Amino acid sequence: MWLLEKQYFLMQKGRAEMGNTAQNTEVLALRRSPAHHLWTDFTVGSVAGERGVTLREVPFQRMVGIRVDPTSEVGTRIGELTGGLPLNSGDVTTGESGAAVLWLAPDEFLVVAPDDGEPGPSALVTSLLEALGDGAGQVIDLSSNRTTFELSGPSARAVLEKSCAADLHPRTIAAGTAITTEINKIPTVLFKSADETFQLFPRSSFADYLGRWLLDGMVEFAAEGTSWP
Amino acid sequence: MLLFTCPNCGPRNETEFHYGGQAHVAYPESPGELSDREWAEYLFYRENTKGLFAERWVHSAGCRKWFNMVRDTVSYEVKAVYRIGELQPETLERIASATEPEQAQPLAPAQANPTTASEGV
Amino acid sequence: MSADHLPEHPEFLWRNPDPKKSYDAVIVGGGGHGLATAYFLAKNHGMRNIAILEKGWLAGGNMARNTTIIRSNYLWDESAAIYEHSLKLWEILPEELDYDFLFSQRGVMNLAHTLGDVRESMRRVGANQLNGVDAEWLDPKQVKELCPILNINDNIRYPVMGATYQPRAGIAKHDHVAWAFARKCDEMGVDIIQNCEVTGFIKDGNKVTGVKTTRGNINTEKVGLCAAGHTSVLAEMAGFRIPIQSHPLQALVSELHEPVHPTVVMSNHVHVYVSQAHKGELVMGAGVDSYNGYGQRGSFHVIEEQMAAAVELFPIFARAHVLRTWGGIVDTTMDASPIVGTTPVENMFVNCGWGTGGFKGTPAAGLTFAHTIATGSPHTLNKPFGMDRFETGHLIDEHGAAAVAH
């Protein structure tokens, strides 16, 4: 409880003294990502080699929810910042800032960018809000809504396929594709960021459960050889 | 487990969807003028067709959009999928009388349908 | 083994007559409700020139597919009255029908897994007691005493926070129930006609005067519909609408086991209801499939979720195997209460909407529906269950007590 209060106090203070790097650093030091307590388990549970699979949490990514008609004027304005807005399921666009924009629905998108270390609204959020202006739609900073798990390696797809019913075969999901689906009934945005790398965005409250679930699914690949013990 | 084709997201397992019952039941234009019988019809009476049935589903674990589907309530086979606001792609009778089972309608890309795209904004 | 050693062919319990040209009343549907209706028409109202038309075989629909739970712990006065009357009939029927259909009053528990469940359950126990229904509230320890294989740890996803308990509730052997009614109906002159599907109705203006069937037309003065999931199809033939929706409801059995489960345990919250049948198989029901369906099967994920919940509640079940699964078509109403009464068509009556709990209602449905058909107006017990309640607003919301959400 003390931590939360202190955190809140420092956040407020941090906002008031934007640009005060010392204060920001103090705030950042207090942050705990939703699966932080599993980091050691992730390291221990990760498997190297040709059947390998690695799990890690990528903490504090900046995420912004956008709801807008992509074909409208304001949609175009926002799209100028994001390399356009994706128009179909699976599509992902990337703007100059390097932020990825994932298609969630015909009028809903999720912007994902690495941790920018800003305790308050980042430049990304501010610029998107400016682009929205008073147009029809919304731009909301959703950074702590979801965390990020990165599952990578030759066996990453096999681990996911145990409990994700969506077709994850490369002919359907190529690198650079993102879909919204369920992993063991946990609503998850799944972004295949490279050939053998999946970024999973579960809501923070599911982080512990999904983290342990994935670890459990990785166990068999740590076994020597291909035969069952 | 049934496989449904969301007009926005493509084929997904039945568990990603929720059922919304009979499609094309319009809210009465002047509810205040309805008799008790008519209001009961609107509120409680739905078709319970044995055979081809137009119904609503929502892709709750995906794009969270509602859509319509024509499904056979005996074989559970999906005959057509179409967006909210669109008319039934074929009359039910025509689908029923077709010798070859109709494939699900080709899915238009999202931008082809500004009505859906601006929904909820 | 030679043929000499085979058991003797059992005596048939009923004739297999051809349909006559006309009857005083025709019951459509040869399941439990149709049989019970014919039985009470003959016994209480002296109507012997009647027929039951069954499109398949006797008691091969939901009567053969349900989990045979009998209880009367419903919330509202109207429901408590009809279900409790039904339970009292169950208690005397084995003697009256001269057939031991293994009615076993081993008690039924309805588990509470959340504080909301607890409040709702306690309220229902109170309401039951005021209505003279034997109901008790059990804390988790008492639950465990009655059913030792239940996991009452508080570290599970849906911990057991208590249960309602009705000691007089139980199970019965469903096919024996059907055979018991069928034999008595037959003795009293009722024609049970199987493989006879109704394809239409003959009407004079708004009055029904006959039934078209796959075995010819039959004239009749009165028609009673007892077709559960197929009622809408018949209503459409007859030219009226009825506010029910048909859904697949699934159940399953395990292989035979030594007695491990002494009572009946139901969980509305996770959609598992379990008893151990007389032979030893575990009989388990699941939730309804969300979509409308007339196929007598449902989706696998429903069974999967049901099994996950069952194994958590009964860890010992992890060593059992699913032997068979199947589905029935249940006719649900918006208020989870049945429809028993008149229809917009003159001389046509309907008994349906029992949803996921029709078996327990069999005797009372038969008694009250027979009264309605014979006299043209409802019995006191089924008067509140007419179709008019959807217009008057006098709904009888039993979603809490109905045990399977729909």
pLDDT > 70? residue C389: yes
Give the chain A residue nearest B11 (alpha carbons).
A166
Partners for A (CB, 8 Å, 3+ pairs)?
B
| CB contact (8 A) between residue C392 and residue B2 | no
Q: Give whole-number Cα distances, C306 to A24, A197, A216, C303, C333, in Å.
A: 50, 34, 23, 5, 23
pLDDT of residue C5: 66
pLDDT of residue A135: 95
pLDDT > 50? residue B108: no
pLDDT band at B73 (very low <50, low <70, confident <90, very high): very high
Structure tokens given for C143: 């639950």
Interface of A with B in 155-174 (CB under 8 A): 165-167
Per the listing, tokens 């959703």 go with A142
Average pLDDT for consecutive 10-residue bins of chain A (229 residues)? 45 50 76 96 95 96 97 96 95 89 97 89 92 96 96 98 94 96 95 97 98 97 63
A88 lies within 8 A of chain B by CB: yes
Mean pLDDT of chain B: 82
**Cβ of A59: how many Cβ atoms within 10 Å?**
15
Angle between helices A2-16 and A21-30 (to 10 degrees): 150
- Provide, as residue numbers in chain B, all residues whose Cβ is less than 8 Å from the Cβ of A69: 114, 117-118, 121
Yes or no: say if C225 and C348 are a contact pair by the CB < 8 Å rule.
yes
Residue-wise pLDDT for C346-380, tens only, equals 999 999 999 988 999 999 999 999 999 999 999 99
Yes or no: say if C308 and C314 are a contact pair by the CB < 8 Å rule.
no
Structure tokens given for C360: 């327990």
Smallest CA–CA separation between A147 and chain B, in Å?
18
pLDDT of residue A13: 47
Partners for C (CB, 8 Å, 3+ pairs)?
B
Q: State the Rg of chain C over Cα.
A: 21
Which among C65, C60, C68 is positioned nearest to C325, based on CA atoms? C65
Smallest CA–CA separation between A88 and chain B, in Å?
6
C232 lies within 8 A of chain B by CB: yes
| CB contact (8 A) between residue B48 and residue C292 | yes
Give the chain C residue nearest B3 (alpha carbons).
C299
| CB contact (8 A) between residue B63 and residue A89 | yes
pLDDT of residue B111: 37
pLDDT band at B105 (very low <50, low <70, confident <90, very high): very low
Which among C26, C15, C366 is positioned nearest to C187, based on CA atoms? C15
pLDDT of residue B98: 59
Residue-wise pLDDT for C55-66, tens only, equals 999 999 999 999
Interface of C with B in 286-315 (CB under 8 A): 290-295, 299-301
Render the burial of C47-76: b for 16+ CB within 10 Å, e for the rest. bbebbbbbbeebbbbbbbbbbbbbbbbbbb
Give the chain B residue nearest C333 (alpha carbons).
B44
- Provide, as residue numbers in chain A, all residues whose Cβ is less than 8 Å from the Cβ of B110: 87-89, 106
pLDDT > 70? residue C156: yes
pLDDT of residue A7: 47
pLDDT of residue B90: 65
C12 lies within 8 A of chain B by CB: no
Smallest CA–CA separation between A228 and chain B, in Å?
29
pLDDT > 50? residue B112: no
| CB contact (8 A) between residue B61 and residue A108 | no
pLDDT of residue C398: 94
Euclidean distance between CA atoms A125 and C140, whole angstroms: 52
| CB contact (8 A) between residue B120 and residue A107 | yes
Give the chain B residue nearest C292 (alpha carbons).
B73
Residue-wise pLDDT for C24-83, tens only, equals 999 999 999 999 999 999 999 999 999 999 999 999 999 999 999 999 999 999 999 999
The pTM of the full predicted model, rounded to 2 decimals, is: 0.89
Give the chain B residue nearest A139 (alpha carbons).
B121
| CB contact (8 A) between residue B73 and residue C245 | no
Residue ranges of chain B whose CB lies within 8 Å of a chain C CB: 1-2, 13-15, 18-19, 21, 36-37, 39-41, 43-50, 53, 55, 71, 73-76
Q: Give whole-number Cα distances, C96 to A149, C43, C52, in Å.
A: 67, 11, 21
- Provide, as residue numbers in chain B, all residues whose Cβ is less than 8 Å from the Cβ of A67: 120-121
Residue of B6, B62, B121 lying closest to A67 (CB–CB): B121
Q: Which of A72, A87, A180, A190 is the best substitution to test chain B (most B C-beta atoms within 10 A)?
A: A180
Report the pLDDT averaged over residues B101-121. 39
Mean pLDDT of chain C: 95
Residue of B2, B21, B45 lying closest to C241 (CB–CB): B45
| CB contact (8 A) between residue C295 and residue B76 | yes
pLDDT > 90? residue B107: no
Residue-wise pLDDT for B11-60, tens only, equals 999 999 999 999 999 999 999 999 999 999 999 999 999 999 999 999 99
- Provide, as residue numbers in chain B, all residues whose Cβ is less than 8 Å from the Cβ of C245: 21, 46, 48
Structure tokens given for C84: 């409790």
The size of the B-C interface in CB pairs under 8 A is 63
Residue of B36, B37, B48 lying closest to C245 (CB–CB): B48
